[in-house]
Amino acid sequence: MSIVTAVRRGDWETLFGYAFFVALLTGGYYYNVTFVQLGLLDLGTRLVGLSETAVSGWMATLALVTLVTAVAFGVTMDRRGWSSSLHAKLRILLGVVVVQVVLTSVAPFVRTAPQFGAWIVLASLSMGVGFPATFALTIDFVAVPDRGAVAAAATALTYFLANVYPLDWHIESFSRVVVAAMVPGVVLLAVLVFRPPPFLERLARQHEQFGVGRFCREGPVSIREAAFLVPLVLMFGVFFVDSLGFLRILDTPSLVLASWQSPEFSMHLLLAVVHVVGAVMAGVLYTTFDRRVLFLATFGLFSFTHLLYTFDIRIAMWFPALATGPSSPLNPAFYALAVSFYTTLNFALWPDLSTPETIGTHSAVGIGLAGFLSTFLSTALALYFQSTSVTLLDHLNLVNALALLLFVGLAVGIYVRRMHSLWTEGHRGEPN
């Protein structure tokens, strides 16, 4: 049953599953893009007194520990049958969210480097357990035809909220907001685990209908097959390009103060609306076309965005008199569009490459390698660039070249594959 059918029939039990999943995905990703990515930098540098380089090193450690934990736990989920058990996944998530509430509450009181390191490791373990369990809920709550729309809804909500609140990027602000959002989630999960309503049994059987992903219709996809490895490599490239470029933009006051840390609320609202528009566009494209269209669009948008940034930097170098005002709002707007495109794709892709027997491993390997390992490597490369005094223009030029290379490589790959298919069909049609 799709969400449209459920609305027409007034099937509130199925609609509860959709709403619960979108809220869970939104809450988890909001925690990641605000508290983890922005709040920990403030905690490490301002309250603990570490250098930005040291904090970046700990963030790379967080990415690596999360990756290892997620893959180990995702494989365990599949082998023990937890991936297809809604009740098991809810119990796991209740434990994860309780741990994260405690960690988030105590974070503003961390003051020493050993405490900061211990906090990072514990948070990594909880996230490594949490995200394969969260993605595995897709098969319980979301019908295959609706996954693009649900991914778009979670992306739009996450980035809209992250851009408009809180505007203060201090760990205390993030801690208050995240704990306030998590506590109702803990209560709801506790009810579902300890006092499950009767309709939960019906939702627990939906994976028999919703479980086989869109790209597994002709048979299960193995992580050793090109059907899984090619999207994995492309998504790794997307995260790497995004992280490598955004780390340098965040480290450049003239760029970040005119966009994500602007004192003007209108700028934050603009970025939030652009994220929503981008998510809606990506949801439509994912539902209507093949995933390669979204990859092409994402690489194209990142290429264009970094071209705009480098163009502005060159103008400022060549004609200083023309660069006295704030930087163009178009640059972060296109950046936000690209981020919404690939986030929507990332939410929908791994469940659609999975079955109830493989979703734990596939989501852990997909998100772990493409998301967390790429972040680890891009952080290390950004630190190397910083230590060797690579200029802002050279840094963004490199990111732009990578995005262009991936865009052109993918376009050529699609063309060659299409020509090969036509050649094969032509030979099959020839008389003997």
- Report pLDDT digits (tens) over 216-260: 988 889 999 999 999 999 999 999 999 999 989 988 888 888 888
Domain presence at residue 164? yes
pLDDT higher than threshold 70 for residue 430: no
- CA 307 centroid distance within chain: 23
Per the listing, tokens 């223009």 go with 393
Tell me how many domains the chain contains. 1
Residues 379 and 247: their CA atoms lie apart, in Å, by 8
pLDDT higher than threshold 90 for residue 276: yes
Residues 6+ apart with CB under 8 A from 237: 299, 374, 402, 406
* Three-class DSSP category at 399: helix
Token code pair at residue 208: 């028999």
pLDDT higher than threshold 90 for residue 83: yes
Residue 27's domain is classified under what CATH number?
1.20.1250.20
Domain presence at residue 305? yes
**Domain range for residue 26?**
1-425
- Please count the CA atoms within 13 angstroms of the CA of 179 that sit on its side-chain side: 15
Domain presence at residue 7? yes
* Three-class DSSP category at 325: coil
pLDDT higher than threshold 80 for residue 111: yes
Domain presence at residue 260? yes
- CA 399 centroid distance within chain: 19
Domain presence at residue 284? yes
Per the listing, tokens 């996944």 go with 89
pLDDT of residue 53: 82
Residues 351 and 2: their CA atoms lie apart, in Å, by 16
- Please count the CA atoms within 13 angstroms of the CA of 175 that sit on its side-chain side: 15
C-alpha radius of gyration, the chain, whole number: 22
Domain presence at residue 430? no
Average pLDDT rounded to a whole number, residues 52-77: 91
pLDDT higher than threshold 90 for residue 269: yes
Token code pair at residue 78: 């599949």
Q: How far is CA 319 from CA 19, 100, 127, 254, 396, in A?
A: 52, 50, 47, 17, 19
Domain presence at residue 431? no
Q: What is the pLDDT of residues 14-44, one digit of tens each?
A: 999 999 999 999 999 999 888 988 898 899 9
Inter-residue contact 163 to 394 (CB < 8 Å): no
Whether the model clears a pTM of 0.85, i.e. scores above it, the answer is yes
Q: Which residue, among 193, 196, 181, has the nearest Cα to 100 in the 3D structure?
A: 181
pLDDT higher than threshold 70 for residue 323: no
Domain presence at residue 3? yes
Strands (DSSP E) contained in 149-266 are none
Q: What is the mean pLDDT of the chain?
A: 91
Q: Is 5 exposed, middle or buried (0-12, 13-18, 19+ CB in 10 A)?
A: exposed
Backbone angles phi, psi at 14, to 5 degrees: -65, -40
Average pLDDT rounded to a whole number, residues 163-180: 89
pLDDT higher than threshold 90 for residue 326: no
Q: What is the pLDDT of residues 331-367, one digit of tens each?
A: 999 999 999 999 999 999 999 999 999 999 999 999 9
Q: Which residue, among 178, 29, 186, has the nearest Cα to 107 in the 3D structure?
A: 178
* Three-class DSSP category at 166: coil
Inter-residue contact 155 to 340 (CB < 8 Å): yes
